[in-house]
Amino acid sequence: EDPARAPYLDRTEGTIDAIEGLPLKLLREMLRQAACPPVTHVLFDMDGLLLDTESAYTVAQQQILDRFGKKFTWDLKAKMMGKKALEAAQILIDDLDLSVAITPEAFVTER
């Protein structure tokens, strides 16, 4: 038996004949790929799953509203939750009577 190939025997099917003659570099790469196939797709719901961005979002909203002398309250935030960005901006603008001051599109762009 080849002592250099011995660690790979338990990870291959058959006997040493299955890997005999393969260069060790190629053997290692083949086994690495078989054990860990390449990742082709990843889906994440990024709303707080990996990073807690909620506080940054609230601060950004309030910084925009400060210019208009308005407050980003929890009640308003609750109304906006789960909505698409443009729809949420429209709710904010309607609730705070800002339709003359800023459009939903401009608010979303600035945010």
The residues assigned a catalytic role are 45, 47
| DSSP string for residues in the chain | --TTTHHHHTTSSS-GGGTTT--HHHHHHHHHHHHSPPP-------SSSSS--HHHHHHHHHHHHHTTT----HHHHHHHTTS-HHHHHHHHHHHTT-TTT--HHHHHHH-
